[in-house]
Amino acid sequence: MSNGRHSSHAGFRKAGSFMVSLLVAIRGGGWQGSLQGTTRCLHHRMACSHRVGLLFAPSVEIPLAPRRRFVHDGTAPGQDCVCLCHLQPLPCPMKRFYVVASIPLLLAALIPIAASLWVAHRQAKNDQITYLTSLADEVLRRGVASRQQLVAALNDLDRDPHAPCSQASLTRMQQLVGTSFYLQGMGSVMDGTLVCSTLTQGSDLVPLTGNHMVTATGISSWIGARLPFAPDQPFNIYARNGHAVIIHPGIVIDMPVLHADVSLGLLISTPQALIRSKGPLDAQWLALYTPDASSQVESDTHHIVFRASKDNNIAAVAAAPKAQAYGGLWAQALILAPLGLVASALFALGVAVLTRWQLSPRVRLRTALRRREFFILYQPIVDLQTGQWVGAEALLRWRRRNGTLVPPDEFIAEAEKAGVIAPITRYVIDVVLADLPELLKARPGFHVSLNLSPQDLVADGPVQYLQRRFSAMEFPAGALMLEVTERGLVNIEAARPALQAARQIGASIALDDFGTGYSSLSMLESIDIDTLKIDRIFIASIGAQAAISPVTTHIIEMAHTLQLALIAEGVETQDQVDFLIARGVRQAQGWKFARAMPLEELLAGLRVAPPSQPQ
């Protein structure tokens, strides 16, 4: 004993230093929940949601989950046991939340700003093209008007009976010029020479210079011709049948523009030639013009708009530097960016709320139910006299999509806290009721026990659901055992309707985990239960080298006095079997006999003839 005590103290010291390093990790790395659980479970083991077992001081360690790491508070004075809390990293919803949410949150912040800049960019381009289109339309309107006046004047002179350059002819020309807004003068042309005109009366013959061409409508044109009275001013001269019209090239193109670097031009479509222009018009831009078609094109540096009049064989062009359009972009961005930021913040908040909601235990557990990630294993309950499997406890398991198996100690507590235990219990009820016919067929008189949480013991809860379903299925009385915990019976009045409903379908009631919580003798007397389940912590204290807890013997004696049946949980050794049989305990479950198993395995075991003697 003294050896055991000594080694135990050494073990405590070792565990103590182990704990120190763990506590550092706890404080720095989100283990606060486990730490609090560890402390709280000293007072009441059910308060520790991550509890995996109890350690008896000084010498008995209960290896409930041997592959896990543990921390225990070995400094609890006056306690006969301390709580073991496993420190395996539990899924930390908030940590996962930040990992899962960070990408959408980042996108949520960036997308609206990028979108607002993109919208501003598009808007700036559209605005510039709209402006250029309006300018080109105006140039074309003027061009068409000047073209029509020009043709009308030439037609008129064709019909004039007076000899070219006669006074009567020049007078008629002056009348036409006076009534035509876009015409500056008229005259007669012979062999490329202006022989007379309303602008050059009395002058010598004027040989026509400038770019000469004949258009598709048969009009000879001299673009940029010079006349003696204004040698610095280029004129455009158009002639047909010896009659000529003189036009000032600026008259069509000269209009106010918003920016000095806007270029305007008027083109003859066929053969393509620029007849009037204002500002630089690159030949490469003009090469982008498809004759007689209105279009918008762009070079590396400019947006260019063409507007064409097919009937008049002319087109207008307007061009402006792209940089000029996007110069205002930053001004727009400055307006849009704050709006984008506000939208981002709202969007990010929405994403955060949604993601948090999705990662909440409530939603995760409901999703697991919907995806059928829960399943049931059965642990046989054995008659210690005959070795027969007389019943089985339904134990819930959660296998997540990634394959990890979450122990019920973790998710049941979460489900209770999140208020979703009722649908989970209903699911267990459904599975058990579906499995029961086969089990009863394989072993008549067999019973299945299922666990109820305190929240299940309410009016119109899962027990009433079971009652409705059970009544319709005609199972024999005693086929079901409902395991309630001491916590569930703290408010016995609230639990009574559920217990009565259980009674009405002939289900027996067992008090689970007895001795670990608030139970008192008076409580046992006041409630109508059939069976006490001795918690495995008390069974674990039964062993060749260990001091048997006096509580174990008391529980057994008390149950006999109250004429309650007993089921011992967590039986692992022959010593424990012998001890229990010697004290009149009839039934037990534990790894000594069988671990929790799937239905098929349980059925196969029931079909095998049981040994006639206890092991």
Footprint on this chain of ligand C2E (rule: CB under 6 A):
64, 379, 395-396, 407-409, 412, 428, 451-453, 483, 512-513, 536, 569-572, 589-591, 596
Rounded-to-integer distance, Cα 86 and Cα 17, Å: 16
CA distances from 111 to 116, 336, 348, 409, 490 (A): 8, 13, 10, 43, 54
Query: Between 4 and 407, whose beta carbon lies closer to ligand C2E?
Result: 407
CB of 88 to ligand C2E, least distance (A): 14
Query: Between 282 and 409, whose beta carbon lies closer to ligand C2E?
Result: 409
Rounded-to-integer distance, Cα 60 and Cα 81, Å: 10
Query: Between 590 and 605, whose beta carbon lies closer to ligand C2E?
Result: 590
Residue identified by tokens 């002058």 is: 203
Residue type, 450: L
CB of 453 to ligand C2E, least distance (A): 4
Query: Between 73 and 414, whose beta carbon lies closer to ligand C2E?
Result: 414
Instruction: Characterize the bridge pairing of strands 263-268 and 314-321.
Output: antiparallel
Query: Between 341 and 418, whose beta carbon lies closer to ligand C2E?
Result: 418
CB of 340 to ligand C2E, least distance (A): 50
CB of 91 to ligand C2E, least distance (A): 17
Query: Between 495 and 571, whose beta carbon lies closer to ligand C2E?
Result: 571
Spell out the residues 6+ positions from residue 394 whose beta carbon is closer than 8 angstroms to its own.
376, 377, 378, 428, 431, 432, 448, 449, 450, 451
CB 277 within 8 A of CB 263: yes
Instruction: Return the H-helix or E-strand segment holding 495.
Output: helix 492-504
Query: Between 66 and 256, whose beta carbon lies closer to ligand C2E?
Result: 66
Rounded-to-integer distance, Cα 169 and Cα 187, Å: 9
Between CA 467 and CA 62, with CA 589 as vertex, the angle to 5 degrees is: 120
CB of 504 to ligand C2E, least distance (A): 21
Whole-angstrom Cα Rg for the chain: 50
Report the candidate in 361, 363, 498 with the shortest Cα–Cα distance to residue 429: 498
CA distances from 498 to 9, 409, 484 (A): 47, 24, 11
* CA end-to-end distance (rounded Å), the chain: 29
Query: Between 112 and 380, whose beta carbon lies closer to ligand C2E?
Result: 380
Query: Between 388 and 453, whose beta carbon lies closer to ligand C2E?
Result: 453
Report the candidate in 54, 238, 24, 275 with the shortest Cα–Cα distance to residue 150: 238
CB of 388 to ligand C2E, least distance (A): 18
CB of 542 to ligand C2E, least distance (A): 12
Query: Between 276 and 487, whose beta carbon lies closer to ligand C2E?
Result: 487
CA distances from 197 to 200, 203, 211, 514 (A): 5, 9, 20, 126
Bridge partners of residue 192, in order along the sequence = none
CB of 417 to ligand C2E, least distance (A): 13
CB of 580 to ligand C2E, least distance (A): 13
CB of 20 to ligand C2E, least distance (A): 28
Spell out the residues 6+ positions from residue 312 whose beta carbon is closer than 8 angstroms to its own.
143, 144, 147, 148
Spell out the residues 6+ positions from residue 180 whose beta carbon is closer than 8 angstroms to its own.
149, 152, 153
Spell out the residues 6+ positions from residue 168 whose beta carbon is closer than 8 angstroms to its own.
162
Query: Between 281 and 413, whose beta carbon lies closer to ligand C2E?
Result: 413
Query: Between 73 and 535, whose beta carbon lies closer to ligand C2E?
Result: 535
Angle between helices 361-370 and 421-442 (to 10 degrees): 30
CB of 40 to ligand C2E, least distance (A): 18
CB of 354 to ligand C2E, least distance (A): 30
Residue type, 353: V
Query: Between 239 and 412, whose beta carbon lies closer to ligand C2E?
Result: 412
What token pair was written down for 558?
A: 């008390």
Rounded-to-integer distance, Cα 57 and Cα 82, Å: 7
CB 52 within 8 A of CB 84: yes
Q: Exposed, middle or buried by CB within 10 Å (0-12, 13-18, 19+), for 49?
A: buried
Within 533-598, residue ranges assigned H as helices are: 536-540, 550-561, 574-582
Query: Between 337 and 422, whose beta carbon lies closer to ligand C2E?
Result: 422
CB of 596 to ligand C2E, least distance (A): 5
DSSP state of 383: E
CB of 571 to ligand C2E, least distance (A): 6
Query: Between 396 and 499, whose beta carbon lies closer to ligand C2E?
Result: 396
